[in-house]
């Protein structure tokens, strides 16, 4: 296989929620994403980040949030564990084309 950067695109996620441990993930448009039982096609740990190397097509952009810290049988609402437990659809049907960076808004407000 050969990699051709001109044959893929990117999604630039724009959000101002720097204080929250958000992850952004993409799935094929129309699919439901649940971080507890499914891996996304691509993701980034950033509030303003670039999800790169996506084949041309339409994608749904989700924000996932790290809400809990669990250690054995003890779950602490105040901490985080580095794993996202909830998801919220931010932007549906984001179109990605070859060689283009598509801008998409991140979700506003607190995590679900």
Q: Which of 40, 59, 51 is nearest to 15 (CA)?
A: 51
DSSP β-bridge partners for residue 70? 75
User: Where does the chain show beta strands of DSSP type E?
Assistant: 9-14, 22-28, 42-44, 49-54, 57-65, 69-71, 74-76, 86-96, 101-105
Which whole number is the average pLDDT over 53-62? 94
Say yes or no to pLDDT of 38 above 80.
yes
pLDDT-wise least confident of 78-82, 89-93, 108-112 = 78-82
pLDDT-wise least confident of 5-9, 54-58, 60-64, 73-77 = 73-77
Say yes or no to pLDDT of 18 above 60.
no
In this prediction the pTM is 0.80
Asked if 102 contacts 8 with a C-beta cutoff of 8 angstroms, the reply is: no
CA atoms within 13 A on the CB side of 13: 32
Domains in the chain, start-ordered, CATH in brackets?
Answer: 5-105 (2.60.40)
Scored b (16 or more CB within 10 A) or e, 68-102 reads beeeeeeeeeeebeeebbbbeebbeebebeeeeeb
């Amino acid at each position: 296989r050969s990699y051709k950067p001109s044959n893929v695109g990117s999604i630039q996620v724009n959000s101002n929620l720097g204080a929250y441990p958000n992850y952004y993930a993409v799935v094929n448009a129309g699919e439901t994403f649940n971080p507890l039982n499914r891996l996304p096609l691509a993701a980034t740990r950033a509030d303003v980040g670039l999800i790169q190397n996506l084949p041309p097509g339409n994608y749904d952009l989700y924000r996932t949030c790290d809400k809990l810290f669990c250690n054995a049988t003890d779950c602490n609402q105040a901490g985080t564990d580095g794993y996202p437990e909830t998801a919220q659809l931010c932007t549906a049907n984001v179109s990605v084309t070859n060689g283009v960076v598509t801008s998409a808004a991140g979700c506003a407000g607190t995590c679900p």
